[in-house]
Structure 1
Amino acid sequence: MKIAIVEDEHLASSYLKSILEKQEVISVSKITILKSVKEAVAFFKEHTIDLVFMDIHLGDGKSLDIFEEISIPSPIIFVTAYDTYAIKVFKHFTIDYLLKPFEEEELISALSKYKKIKGSFNLNQTVQSLDLIENKNIDSYQKRFLVNHGYKFISINDSDISCFMGSGKHLFIYTSNGNSYLYNDTIKDIINKLNPEFFFKVNRKYILHISAIKEVIRHTSQKVEIKVIDTINEDNPILVSKNEITNFKKWLDR
């Protein structure tokens, strides 16, 4: 089976490629990595692929730009950092999706799903899903979060949240005025409900609001540290996940 990975981040494509090479769900004969819309268009004009893994945003454009140039009849699994709305769209119109950063088990599950339903892939529905995402409404994001505080309920606006911190099975909200509250959700699920314009999941423990970032320090190309405002009670360094450094820099440069 021939596979193409359309991904402009080296660490992300290498991680995906390494798992595909050692998994045993499907037999892989060749993996091609394409880093841009331009490369993808040129490649798919000349080659037929059995399965495609595709990121939404690429260095020179978006995945939708590829489909405006050519038709790709191959089943597609999207690898994305998008939110709840996008995930609902992917569930309805595509083979499957992987939400960054993903675990090896999630990729194995997506491959198993591909084996079962690969014959039902519909290119028109895939293009429709991308078009829906590009034209989504900001109202799909959660704006208020209800927490318990003693005998009271408090509704916290998203603009008042400095960060979400995962600790074991618990999730805490830290507010800009220095308070912290236990919230009934997980860090893996809450990221899908937040507006990515303001929130970024920097690692498996922290989701930061842009206003909480005081300083970003690059120690090496693979080690980026974030200094946060004093209202977040954290003595240990907050490091950006290696696989998310490129996305984090893009997010800061919007």
Structure 2
Amino acid sequence: MKVVIIEDEPLAAEKLIGYLSRQQPDAEIVAQLGSVAQVLAFFSEPRSLDLIFSDVELADGQVFSALEQLDLPCPVLFTTAYDQYWMQVFQYQAVDYLLKPFSYQRFAEAMLNFAQLKHKLQLPATATATLSFKKRFLLRKGQSLAILPVADILLIRAANGVLLATDQRHQVHILTESNLGEIERQLDPADFFRLNRSDIIHINSIVKVEPFSKEAVAVVLCCDQEPAISSKTRTALLRKWLNQ
């Protein structure tokens, strides 16, 4: 695994290298760059890399001024003390957004996101072409059964031991299934996203996304009065999903 570190703070770079050595002992650090000028000079030649770790604010400006001029060879994992760039970074193949100071656990979660993305990109085209996703759910209506098309669903929520599906008319239905994780695997990931431990949202349910905390966002839904809050381990994946 070949990586480049873009960081102008020596202590931050040292901490990052320590985390990387612990999590990925065979990683090769090809270069450590501390300025926009160094980034432009390094990438003036073709590079074979697996991952770039990058701060945003460098000694001579924002790293974006360099990245926007480059054809990046791999994903970027951003590490910064500022939370206002979280939407902007996904123009630059961002795989995650770590807010300093971040723990080793949070770093490991980001590396897992990268590994999952890499695995997905390596799947042959035939593997994704043959995937079959769920088309409908059965609903109990008294002694009879009804059908709820997946295409009508805006939100699936686990609450009080049952799964509730909200449709496009904002009507709520009790599903016969009981495992949210199993349902997640049956839904088309282009349309549905697991936001947290209890919510799966459809892309058409989203009105807007607002900052909530350093590592979470509030998703305002058209079908619910209260915004749904992303879990910190899903926030970066949400941003990637929204930017597909």
Q: What TM-score comes out, normalization by structure 1 length?
A: 0.49
Partner of residue 62, structure 2? none
How far did 1:220 drift?
4.2
**Residues 169 and 186 in structure 1, CA contact (< 8 A), matched pair in contact too:** no
The one of 182, 186, 203 aligned to 2:179:
186
Partner of residue 228, structure 1? 221
CA displacement, residues 75-111 of structure 1 (integer Å, 9 cap, x when unaligned):
xxx9579xxxxxxxxxxxxxxxx989xxxxxxxxxxx
**Residues 173 and 180 in structure 1, CA contact (< 8 A), matched pair in contact too:** yes
- The Cα RMSD (Å) is 4.0
Alignment of 1:59-70 (within 5 A): 59=76
Partner of residue 249, structure 1? 239
> In structure 2, do the counterparts of structure 1 residues 204 and 250 end up closer, same or farther at CA, with 3 Å as the change threshold?
same
Partner of residue 117, structure 1? none
Alignment of 1:119-138 (within 5 A): 130-132=122-124, 135-137=127-129
**Residues 149 and 181 in structure 1, CA contact (< 8 A), matched pair in contact too:** no
Partner of residue 199, structure 1? 192
Partner of residue 159, structure 2? 167
Partner of residue 216, structure 1? 209
Partner of residue 138, structure 2? 146
How far did 1:175 drift?
0.8
How far did 1:169 drift?
2.7
Q: Which structure is higher in helix share?
A: 1
CA distance in 1, matches of 2:113, 2:147: 30
Asked which structure has the greater CA Rg, the reply is 2
How far did 1:137 drift?
2.3
> In structure 2, do the counterparts of structure 1 residues 132 and 172 end up closer, same or farther at CA, with 3 Å as the change threshold?
same
* Matched positions, count: 154
How far did 1:178 drift?
1.8
Structure 2 unmatched ranges of 5 or more: 4-18, 30-46, 52-73, 77-92, 96-110
CA distance in 2, matches of 1:99, 1:40: 13
How far did 1:221 drift?
3.9
Amino acid in the other structure paired with 1:180: V
CA distance in 1, matches of 2:232, 2:209: 14
CA distance in 2, matches of 1:202, 1:131: 24
> In structure 2, do the counterparts of structure 1 residues 192 and 38 end up closer, same or farther at CA, with 3 Å as the change threshold?
farther
CA displacement, residues 149-173 of structure 1 (integer Å, 9 cap, x when unaligned):
2233221111100111011432111
Structure 1 unmatched ranges of 5 or more: 7-20, 22-28, 42-56, 63-77, 82-97, 101-126
How far did 1:133 drift?
6.6
**Residues 164 and 174 in structure 1, CA contact (< 8 A), matched pair in contact too:** yes
Find the residue that maps to 1:171 and give its secondary structure: strand
Partner of residue 112, structure 1? none
Find the residue that maps to 1:165 and give its secondary structure: strand
CA distance in 1, matches of 2:123, 2:235: 27
How far did 1:243 drift?
1.2
Partner of residue 229, structure 2? 239
**Residues 201 and 207 in structure 1, CA contact (< 8 A), matched pair in contact too:** yes
Amino acid in the other structure paired with 1:243: T
Consecutive aligned runs of 4 or more in structure 1 exceeding 2 Å deviation? 29-35, 37-41, 57-62, 78-81, 129-135
CA distance in 2, matches of 1:133, 1:79: 23
CA distance in 1, matches of 2:153, 2:195: 15
What percentage of residue pairs aligned between the two structures are identical?
20
**Residues 50 and 75 in structure 2, CA contact (< 8 A), matched pair in contact too:** no
